[in-house]
């Protein structure tokens, strides 16, 4: 097995990279689901040098990209009436004379998507990156606040999907399992729940957010639940740069062996925490699951086989350790006052801290990568050709800016 040889004197970084790998998913080149061409990106024309020079990027908040509500089915979706108001968006739509049968659409969606997490997050996210942020308007004696119009846009996108009048492109694929798991090495569940390949992810953010200034949507939940949110910016930095060489395996063996003991210690601490307080936060559950799966894989395969499986993408000559802060728009619940500040200042921005490796070939082209952080996106997507409302949706068209 090839091990890393450090360029220069960054000893701390190389030790960190080797230690953290035992807790991460299996490294691999991207498969067809992660091919950057799915995001209209030609990887062969994106060298590592050109990609890493794009250390940050952000969308134009004046053109689109706004926070909104996901209108969960458990709260009756667009039937929901915000505190301090007499009507919700559905009731306002009907009173103002909207032609489309919004009530039937919403009720059908509620009936088919009941549960703790069902909602129109896909519609909100797609509308957010496709339309300019709406503002309060009064039509036919009915006042629609920005949150009402955003809710209508969320359902409108769902309508376009149902009518096959819009398409979308995605990269990565959804994990179908109810718990965050990576399965036994070599099984289908490993590839499906590894989430988007970090190499493809990095090309997506540098090309879309930096080069084009355009947002996209990510599912930020690694399980079978889907929580779509608009991605609007990022900043990245290199934490380490490493070469590969056929060096003796013994030193790396010792590092991995020592990490087995450390992993067991961390797992014991989390288990003790659960026994003491009777519950765990989501981050602790994810760590517990990750530690248990790693130890199980090593136990079943043996340390040597586990290490052999953790190969880099074929053709890798360098590995970079990357830290990225990914900015996204979280859900903004509607309230009685109804109007937010305009532009970036009025949005509910959140940051996801990510760490991963990027694998580069002899031509300095990114060909793969591996996640090091527990949190990372499941998959990315964006809609194509979202048309402005018309026909039965003409009332919504009049409400838009």
Query: Which pLDDT tens digit goes with each residue over 106-127?
Result: 999 999 886 778 899 999 999 9
The full length of the chain comes to 401
Average pLDDT along the chain: 80
Is there a contact between 325 and 234 (Cβ–Cβ < 8 Å)?
yes
Question: Are 270 and 210 in a shared domain?
Answer: yes
From the list 228, 234, 229, the residue with the least C-alpha distance to 206 is: 234
pLDDT higher than 90, residue 337: no
Question: Are 374 and 294 in a shared domain?
Answer: yes
Question: Are 198 and 239 in a shared domain?
Answer: yes
Question: Are 56 and 88 in a shared domain?
Answer: no
Is there a contact between 300 and 308 (Cβ–Cβ < 8 Å)?
no
**Assigned domain for 222 exists:** yes
Is there a contact between 66 and 347 (Cβ–Cβ < 8 Å)?
yes
Question: Are 301 and 199 in a shared domain?
Answer: yes
Number of domains in the chain: 2
Question: Are 211 and 270 in a shared domain?
Answer: yes
**Assigned domain for 112 exists:** yes
**Assigned domain for 82 exists:** yes
Pick from 108-117, 194-203, 229-238, 256-265 the range whose average pLDDT is largest.
229-238
The model's confidence at residue 95, banded by pLDDT at 50, 70 and 90, is very high
Question: Are 198 and 144 in a shared domain?
Answer: no
Question: Are 362 and 395 in a shared domain?
Answer: no
In the chain, % of residues over pLDDT 70: 78
Q: Which domain holds residue 24?
A: 3-62+188-384
Q: Which residues 6+ apart lie within 8 Å of 56 measured at CB?
A: 210, 233, 234, 235, 236
Q: Scanning the structure block, which residue is given the tokens 């003796």?
A: 248
- Write out the DSSP string of 319-360: EEEEEEEEEEE------SS--PPSGGGGS-EEEEEEEEEEEE
Beta-bridge partner residues of 366: 360
**Assigned domain for 67 exists:** no
* More confidently predicted of 118 and 244: 118
pLDDT higher than 60, residue 101: yes
Question: Are 96 and 25 in a shared domain?
Answer: no
The model's confidence at residue 76, banded by pLDDT at 50, 70 and 90, is very high
**Assigned domain for 182 exists:** no
Q: How many CA atoms lie within 13 A of 190 on its CB side?
A: 17
Question: Are 110 and 228 in a shared domain?
Answer: no
Measure the CA–CA gap between 340 and 348, rounded to whole angstroms: 10
290: part of which helix (H) or strand (E)?
helix 282-301
* More confidently predicted of 216 and 114: 216
**Assigned domain for 294 exists:** yes
Angle 204-207-213 (CA atoms, 0-180°, nearest 5)? 110
* More confidently predicted of 281 and 34: 34
Model confidence pLDDT, tens digit, residues 166-181: 999 999 888 765 554 4
What is the SS3 assignment for 366?
Answer: strand
The pairing of beta strand 167-172 with beta strand 3-6: unpaired
Measure the CA–CA gap between 342 and 347, rounded to whole angstroms: 8
Question: Are 376 and 395 in a shared domain?
Answer: no
Range 265-269 average pLDDT: 88
- Strand residues in 75-144 grouped as ranges (E): 137-139, 142-144
Structure tokens at 158: 């769902």
Beta-bridge partner residues of 349: 329
Q: For 181-202, give one letter per residue: b (16+ CB within 10 A) or e.
A: bbbebeeeebbbbbbbbbbbbb
Question: Are 121 and 48 in a shared domain?
Answer: no
**Assigned domain for 179 exists:** no
From the list 8, 4, 13, the residue with the least C-alpha distance to 249 is: 4
**Assigned domain for 177 exists:** no
């Amino acid at each position: 097995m090839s091990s890393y040889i450090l360029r220069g004197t960054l000893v701390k970084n190389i030790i960190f990279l080797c230690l953290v790998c035992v807790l991460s998913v299996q490294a691999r080149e991207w498969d067809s689901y992660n091919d950057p061409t799915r995001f209209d990106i030609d990887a062969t024309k994106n060298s590592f040098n050109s990609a890493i020079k794009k250390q940050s990027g952000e969308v134009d908040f004046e053109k689109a990209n706004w926070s909104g509500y996901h209108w969960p089915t458990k709260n009756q979706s667009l039937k929901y009436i915000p505190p301090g108001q007499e009507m919700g968006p559905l009731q306002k739509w009907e009173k103002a004379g909207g032609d489309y049968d919004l009530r039937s659409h919403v009720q059908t969606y509620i009936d088919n998507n009941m549960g703790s997490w069902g909602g129109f997050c896909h519609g909100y996210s797609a509308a957010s990156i496709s339309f300019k942020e709406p503002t309060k308007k009064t039509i036919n004696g009915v006042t629609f606040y920005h949150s009402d119009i955003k809710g209508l846009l969320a359902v409108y996108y769902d309508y376009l999907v149902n009518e096959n009048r819009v398409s979308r492109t995605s990269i990565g694929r959804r994990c179908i399992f109810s718990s965050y798991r990576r399965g036994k090495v070599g099984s289908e569940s490993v590839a499906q729940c590894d989430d988007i390949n970090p190499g493809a992810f990095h090309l997506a953010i540098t090309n879309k957010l930096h080069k084009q200034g355009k947002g996209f949507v990510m599912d930020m939940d690694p399980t079978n639940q889907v929580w779509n949110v608009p991605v609007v910016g990022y900043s990245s930095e290199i934490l380490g740069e490493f070469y590969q060489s056929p060096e003796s395996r013994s030193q790396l063996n010792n590092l991995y062996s020592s990490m087995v003991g450390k992993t067991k210690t961390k797992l014991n601490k989390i288990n003790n925490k659960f026994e003491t307080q009777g519950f765990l936060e989501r981050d602790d559950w994810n760590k517990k699951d990750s530690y248990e799966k790693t130890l199980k894989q090593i136990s079943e395969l043996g340390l040597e086989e586990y290490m052999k499986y953790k190969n880099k993408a074929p053709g890798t000559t360098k590995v970079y350790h990357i830290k990225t802060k990914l900015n996204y728009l979280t859900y903004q619940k509607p309230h009685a006052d109804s109007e937010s500040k305009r532009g970036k200042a009025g949005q509910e921005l959140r940051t996801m801290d990510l760490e991963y490796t990027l694998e580069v070939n002899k031509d300095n082209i990114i060909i793969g990568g591996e996640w090091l952080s527990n949190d990372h996106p499941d998959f990315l997507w964006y809609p194509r050709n979202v048309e402005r409302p018309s026909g039965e949706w003409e009332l919504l068209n009049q409400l838009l800016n």
